[in-house]
Structure 1
Amino acid sequence: MSQTERLPRNRTYLMCPPEHFTVEYAINPWMDTTVPVDAALAVKQWDLLRTTLVDLGHTVHVLAPVAGLPDMVYAANGAFSVDGTVYGARFRYPQRADEAAAHRDFYETSQWSYQAAEHVNEGEGDFAYLPEAHGGLILAGYGFRTDSKAHAEAQEMLGRPVVSLRLVDPAFYHLDTALAALDDHNVTYYPDAFSVSSQRVLAQLFPDAVLADRADAEAFGLNLVSDGRHVVLNTEATAMAEKVRAAGYHPVPVELTELKRGGGSVKCAVAELRP
């Protein structure tokens, strides 16, 4: 990738504090119910992430947590927004189903155009938007948490072309564990998380992508948030931080060890709001 000047763009995000965060069930390979969560540390780490984003100049709205919904901290999964329209989530597992209503209340109260989903999808966990790539492109993952039928539904509701990408490794069950937007037109991804055909599609669409390896992905190094210059990622992903630095971005490490216990990191905890 060429060493061009990386310019940040102010973003608006939605986060939900982990006041009720525990690992009481296992719905992905990272969740271990035998290891207790340090609740106070989870809140402290989450607040550091929120503060980091605010200090970078971004706006962060906070969604009120709901008792009995321990995974609400993974705010990216509750919906996906483009141009003021919100495609609501419909969760795969019943343990998380009620999160969708909490997100819907937030958007409707904030006067967004909220579209309820008919097909199973887990919001921005399986959708990424690149407004300057090929005229505005949505990348959408399926294979574990989101039904491929949701991709056509999202395209109709959001009016943007959707590229379907098949995830094949259970360790990387959401798109945002295997791919991330680095700016408005380019991505980083771990090729082996995708089917061979999906790898071909990604290589054609993003010839300048930053390629990650399995160690990067297992460190949740792809579960990042970028404003086009600053790449916020967890402190364990040291090799990934060097890869984005070499590509001209500025890595900003944040420690999120407790949230990783539930199978998520920076991006899982942050939904981008696109008015």
Structure 2
Amino acid sequence: MTIADLAGTPAPEAASATARVRTPRLRRYAMTAPTFFAVEYAINPWMDTSTPVDAALAVRQWDALRSTYRTLGHTVEMVEPVAGLPDMVYAANGGLVVDGVAVVARFAYPQRAGEAVAYADWMSSRGFTPHATQYVNEGQGDLLVVGPTILAGYGFRTDLRAHAEIAELTGRRVVSLELVDPRFYHLDTALAVLDDSTVAYYPPAFSDDARAQLRRLFPDAVEVSSADAYVLGLNVVSDGKHVLLPANAVGFAEQIGELGFEPIGIDLSELFKGGGSVKCCTLEVYS
């Protein structure tokens, strides 16, 4: 049985003979169970409070994601969910942890403010000192690590002024990218990091200047179709070889399969109702 079979999605066609050999690297992730998940308010275009959520199914789908990480050998640490914080399952937004530096989120909406306290407590419990920013930052929703660089989104959630704070705290180069389509309100909905030098993105989600920067930095980047972008197909987690992505992003799966990556489709249809998928549910601790 292949990993793709385990995840419930058939493997794509075999990669071409010219595809690179990809090497996975063991990762450390933090996740929060969707114990209290619900769509109780609408703060992004995907949320509809009139659409019912199957809470039990959300838990089963989330658990399948967690189990797949563990099957691949990755470490998954649990952050205790808090009643009254239905979006806390989207752990990526809780902050950024890189090179031993922990930056806790400062959320744009008051409905999510309590999550920052919970994730700061988790960081402290793991021996990190959580640093707060003066301006809004929504963690790895808008701060994606690519090799030595942090790609930083702004336009809807994270404040552009927070990027300088992130650069100072981490000591890493921060590249600012403006998002212009509210459906792609976080960078991790419009851009996927596949390995330390490879990204995929949806060009219409970005301003002209941001697209120019991406073309300059990543001339061989994968550009995805609207069909895949509109199912949050870019909201992925990759270990350098295995790419966990929304199960119905079939075109994107074929694209990366041809490059030697192994796509693993994950069904998170219930959590999609809150505007998130694989990456949103996963906070990576970068060593």
1:197-208 correspondence runs (5 A):
197-208=209-220
Which of 112, 115, 136 in structure 2 is aligned with 1:120?
Answer: 136
Deviates more, 1:170-179 or 1:245-254: 245-254
Give how far 1:115 is off: 1.1
User: Amino acid of the residue matched to residue 38 of structure 1?
Assistant: D
* 1: CA distance, partners of 2:129 / 2:70: 26
1:53-92 correspondence runs (5 A):
53-92=69-108
Which of 182, 186, 191 in structure 1 is aligned with 2:194?
Answer: 182
User: Amino acid of the residue matched to residue 173 of structure 1?
Assistant: Y
2:39 is the alignment partner of 1:27: no
* 2: CA distance, partners of 1:82 / 1:57: 20
* 1: CA distance, partners of 2:188 / 2:234: 7
Structure 2 equivalent of residue 212 of structure 1:
224
Give how far 1:113 is off: 3.1
Give how far 1:216 is off: 1.2
2:109 is the alignment partner of 1:97: no
TM-score of the aligned structures, taking structure 2 as reference length: 0.93
- How many residues align structurally? 271
Give how far 1:88 is off: 1.2
* 2: CA distance, partners of 1:76 / 1:204: 27
Q: Secondary structure at the match of 2:76?
A: strand
Give how far 1:22 is off: 0.4
1:215-230 correspondence runs (5 A):
215-230=227-242
2:143 is the alignment partner of 1:143: no
* 1: CA distance, partners of 2:71 / 2:220: 29
TM-score of the aligned structures, taking structure 1 as reference length: 0.97
Give how far 1:126 is off: 0.2
2:261 is the alignment partner of 1:249: yes
* 1: CA distance, partners of 2:264 / 2:144: 21
Contact 1:210 1:247 in 2 (8 A): no
Q: How big is each residue's C-alpha offset from its partner over 1:201-240, in whole Å with a ceiling of 9 and x where there is no partner?
A: 0000001111112211111110000000000011111111
Q: How big is each residue's C-alpha offset from its partner over 1:50-85, in whole Å with a ceiling of 9 and x where there is no partner?
A: 000110110000101000000000000000111010
* 1: CA distance, partners of 2:236 / 2:69: 12
Which of 261, 279, 285 in structure 2 is aligned with 1:267?
Answer: 279
Structure 2 equivalent of residue 41 of structure 1:
57
Q: Secondary structure at the match of 1:40?
A: helix
User: Amino acid of the residue matched to residue 81 of structure 1?
Assistant: V
User: Amino acid of the residue matched to residue 245 of structure 1?
Assistant: G
Q: How big is each residue's C-alpha offset from its partner over 1:68-110, in whole Å with a ceiling of 9 and x where there is no partner?
A: 0000000000001110101110000000000001000001111
Percent identity, please: 57
* 1: CA distance, partners of 2:143 / 2:225: 21
Query: Please, what is the CA RMSD of the aligned residues?
Result: 1.0
* 1: CA distance, partners of 2:224 / 2:44: 21
Give how far 1:118 is off: 1.0
Which of 28, 34, 38 in structure 2 is aligned with 1:12?
Answer: 28
Give how far 1:186 is off: 1.3
Q: How big is each residue's C-alpha offset from its partner over 1:110-129, in whole Å with a ceiling of 9 and x where there is no partner?
A: 11132111110100000100
Deviates more, 1:213-222 or 1:58-67: 213-222
User: Which segments of structure 1 move beyond 3 Å, counting only runs of 4 or more?
Assistant: none
Give how far 1:34 is off: 0.4
* 1: CA distance, partners of 2:154 / 2:265: 29
